[in-house]
């Protein structure tokens, strides 16, 4: 096929895709994407109503005002109608001229961090009386109301009730959504079945001669923030494990995350030891770490990776925590990674928001981003993961990873290093398994870190820990664009629904809480939604044949960059004009057509060769 034919095919496919109602944002156009779950489950996706969006299953109107002004920081005030449902806030302006595009704001209520009234009875001046909404996804929204019709009061009350249902004895939208979605999809399509612990351990070759599987934590009695299924050294009995757990913060003893298929070097995760100021020791804990080291015959050393700055680890002794001393733990080397705590990260993200929204000072852009220290923090996490990869892959040394409690920085490091080491986790399904395993089953406190349905916006437990991990994955994908089966849109969709409360995947703090809430049967999994429309999330540049097995990104400030597609997407002056995943879908369609054409040509060639061979065999011999 010559160049002209290729261009013609590309243009035809692009035209077909452009005519479809393709979504422009994973949240902005829930109408165009809401059908993926409903249609899979054989139910009516949404009813046609007066509002210009398709209602999700279980979504119901709560309030509507037709005389509200959205104070847009980019285009100025826009007068229109505001609709509040139990899932979203939706505003659509009334254009002054026929050819003017309407201003549309579509925000899931779960994204809202806080709502404040602005102005009072004595307020004068245009648009000085209304409501300001602060969002978790970098946006601030301001709506002006007319004082005389008292519309602000009901809007404020409805937003409080449905954005923060847990603060008002309500339930998150995920339960209403699943309740109205009909029967659960078949197991093959059900996102709750994506991760099966025993199957994932078997994929890694466990159990084996050195590692066994235990269900000691079957009723979450040993550690309430750990999963039921653990992989532990074969030499450690269940009773011995109980004793080891007592010497670790929150009873989070070291258990297996990943094992190298050839060297048997491992990544295990845990929390800090309870050393305290007095320097307490535990013979059981010391012996247990030696079991982990001895399970890898390739090395006579064990590397302990402490995510914290050394000063913080020392300070934790005053609270009864601390770190492993090389004197007490034989054949152990300890490395501190200087990754700061949740409070530092929360403040850093706040500064990123100030720099990106609503206005950007061009003359101070670089210094503003540098001043947030966000990229420095991202670099530190990446550098820590690369160090773990080097220990496991290059030096065949087993690694134990922990921070203080082992559910924030530890999850960042184990998940990211596993992503770099194992190509399976760079597939779309494998990445879902990685999140389910390292983040959800091992007890990252999503409820507290995100604040689902909770109006305590200044809660000190909130922090963008998981967001940083997804940012790090994006950074790696920028250095290795052919190594990932999924695209940027997949990562942004995960972040959007981390906040939206439409799905049950990121609700609660631990596996034990999710089981108690019966989320598998009472909510829909995010993976059901994503896996029902895979083409949107595939990377057309992915190259599986001959791809690098192990990735070693350069963790340098020269390579780490701000993810504008996420943090700056609401600012029209800086976001990309053409959304990248539109072009991705065009490329995927073109790729499919080219593959089909190549296949057809091969079949024709094979048929022709077969026919020629038959003719040659049938001809008389001379």
Nearest to 403 by CA among 306, 277, 295: 306
Residues sharing a CB contact under 8 Å with residue 474, sequence separation 6 or more, in sequence order: 488, 491, 563, 566
317 annotated ligand binder: yes
Name the strand (E) or helix (H) holding 616: helix 580-618
8 Å CB contact between 9 and 596: no
The encoded tokens of residue 489 equal 């849109």
* Structure token digits, residue 376: 């420095």
Q: Tell me: is residue 461 an annotated ligand-binding position.
A: no
Question: Which stretches within 171-268 are classed as H helix?
Answer: 173-179, 197-203, 238-245
Q: Does the annotation count 403 as an active-site position?
A: yes
Tokens 């920085």, residue located: 409
Burial (CB count <10 Å: 0-12, 13-18, 19+), residue 517: middle
The rounded Cα 184 to chain-centroid distance in angstroms is 23
Residue 270 annotated as part of some ligand binding site: no
Phi first, then psi, for residue 551 (nearest 5°) are -100, 135
Rounded (5°) CA angle 205-211-213: 85
Cis preceding linkage at 207, omega within 30: yes
Does the annotation place 190 within a ligand binding site? no
338 a known binding residue? Answer: no
Find out whether 211 is annotated in a ligand binding site. no
Phi/psi for 377 (5° steps) reads -65, -40
CA distance 182 to 200: 30
| CA neighbor of 337 nearest in space, from 323, 348, 326 | 323
3-state SS of 598-612?
HHHHHHHHHHHHHHH
Neighbours of 319 (CB within 10 A): 13
- For residue 236, say whether it is annotated as part of any ligand binding site: no
Residue 342 is assigned to a ligand binding site: yes
Instruction: For residue 149, say whether it is annotated as part of any ligand binding site.
Output: no
Q: Which of 407, 434, 436 lies closest to 341 in space, CA to CA?
A: 407
Q: Residue 338 region, left (φ>0) first, then alpha (ψ -120 to 50), else beta?
A: left
Q: Is 404 annotated as a binding residue?
A: yes
Which of 223, 356, 403, 568 is catalytic? The answer is 403
Encoding tokens for residue 144? 């002006």
**Phi/psi of residue 37, nearest 5 degrees:** -85, -50
CB atoms within 10 A of CB 140: 14
Which DSSP category does 570 fall into? T
Tally of helices (H runs) and strands (E runs) in the chain: 22, 14
* 403 annotated ligand binder: yes
In whole angstroms, what is the distance from residue 441 CA to residue 510 CA? 7
Torsion angles phi and psi, residue 181, rounded to 5: -90, 5
- Nearest 10 degrees: CA dihedral of 272, 277, 279, 280? -70
Kind and range of the H or E run holding 85: strand 76-85
* Residue list, annotated binding site for substrate: 316-319, 341-342, 403-409
* Residue list, annotated binding site: 316-319, 341-342, 403-409
Active site positions, annotated:
403
């Amino acid at each position: 096929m010559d160049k002209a034919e290729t261009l013609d095919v590309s243009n035809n496919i692009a035209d077909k895709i452009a005519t479809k109602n393709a979504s422009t944002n994973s949240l902005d156009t829930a109408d165009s994407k809401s059908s993926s779950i409903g249609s899979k489950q054989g139910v009516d996706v949404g009813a046609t109503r007066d509002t210009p969006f398709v209602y999700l299953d279980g979504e119901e109107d709560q309030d509507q005002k037709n005389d509200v002004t959205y104070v847009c920081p980019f285009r100025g005030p826009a007068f229109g109608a505001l609709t509040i449902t139990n899932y979203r806030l939706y505003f659509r302006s009334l254009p002054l001229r026929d050819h003017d595009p309407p201003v549309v704001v579509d925000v899931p209520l779960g994204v809202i961090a806080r709502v404040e009234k602005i102005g009072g009875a004595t307020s004068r001046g245009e648009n000085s009386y209304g409501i300001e909404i602060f969002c978790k996804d970098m946006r601030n929204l301001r709506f002006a109301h007319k004082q005389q019709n008292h519309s602000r009061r009901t809007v404020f009350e409805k937003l409080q009730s449905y954005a923060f249902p847990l603060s008002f004895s309500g339930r998150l939208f995920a339960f209403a959504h699943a309740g109205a979605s009909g029967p659960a999809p078949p197991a093959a399509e059900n996102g709750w079945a994506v991760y099966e612990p025993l199957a994932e351990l078997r994929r890694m070759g466990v159990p084996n001669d050195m590692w066994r599987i235990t269900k000691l934590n079957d009723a979450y009695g040993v550690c309430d923030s750990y999963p039921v299924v653990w992989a532990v050294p074969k030499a450690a009995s269940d009773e011995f494990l109980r004793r080891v757990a007592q010497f670790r913060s929150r009873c989070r003893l070291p258990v297996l995350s990943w094992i190298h298929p050839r060297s048997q070097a491992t990544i295990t995760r845990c929390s800090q030891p309870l050393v305290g100021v007095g320097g307490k020791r535990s013979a059981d804990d010391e012996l247990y770490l030696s079991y982990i080291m001895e399970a890898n015959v390739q090395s006579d050393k064990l590397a302990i990776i402490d995510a914290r700055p050394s000063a913080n680890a020392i300070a934790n002794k005053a609270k009864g925590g601390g770190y492993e001393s090389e004197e007490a733990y034989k054949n152990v080397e300890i490395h501190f990674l200087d990754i700061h705590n949740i409070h530092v990260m929360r403040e850093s993200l706040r500064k990123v928001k100030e720099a990106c929204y609503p206005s950007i000072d061009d003359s101070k852009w670089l210094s503003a981003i540098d001043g947030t220290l966000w990229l420095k923090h991202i670099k530190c996490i990446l550098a820590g993961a690369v160090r773990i990869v080097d220990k496991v892959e290059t030096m065949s040394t087993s690694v134990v990873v922990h921070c203080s409690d082992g559910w924030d920085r530890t999850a960042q490091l184990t998940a990211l290093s596993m992503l770099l080491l194992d190509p399976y986790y760079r597939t779309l399904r494998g990445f879902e398994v990685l999140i389910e395993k390292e983040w959800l089953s091992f007890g990252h406190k999503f409820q507290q870190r995100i604040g689902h349905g909770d109006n305590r916006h200044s809660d000190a437990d909130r922090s963008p820990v998981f967001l940083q991990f997804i940012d790090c994955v994006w950074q790696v994908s920028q250095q290795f664009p052919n190594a990932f089966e999924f695209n940027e849109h997949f990562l942004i969709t995960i972040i959007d629904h981390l906040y939206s409360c439409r799905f049950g995947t990121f609700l609660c703090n631990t596996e034990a809480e999710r089981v108690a809430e019966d989320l598998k049967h009472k909510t829909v999994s995010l993976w059901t939604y994503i896996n029902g429309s895979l083409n949107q999330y595939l990377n057309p540049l992915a190259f599986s044949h001959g791809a690098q097995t192990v990735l070693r990104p350069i963790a340098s400030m020269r390579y780490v960059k701000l993810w504008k597609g996420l943090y700056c997407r609401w600012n029209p002056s800086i976001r990309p004009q053409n959304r990248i995943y539109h072009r991705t879908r065009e490329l995927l369609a073109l790729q499919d057509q080219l593959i089909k054409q190549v296949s057809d040509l091969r079949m024709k060639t094979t048929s022709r060769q077969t026919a020629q061979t038959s003719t040659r065999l049938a001809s008389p011999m001379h």
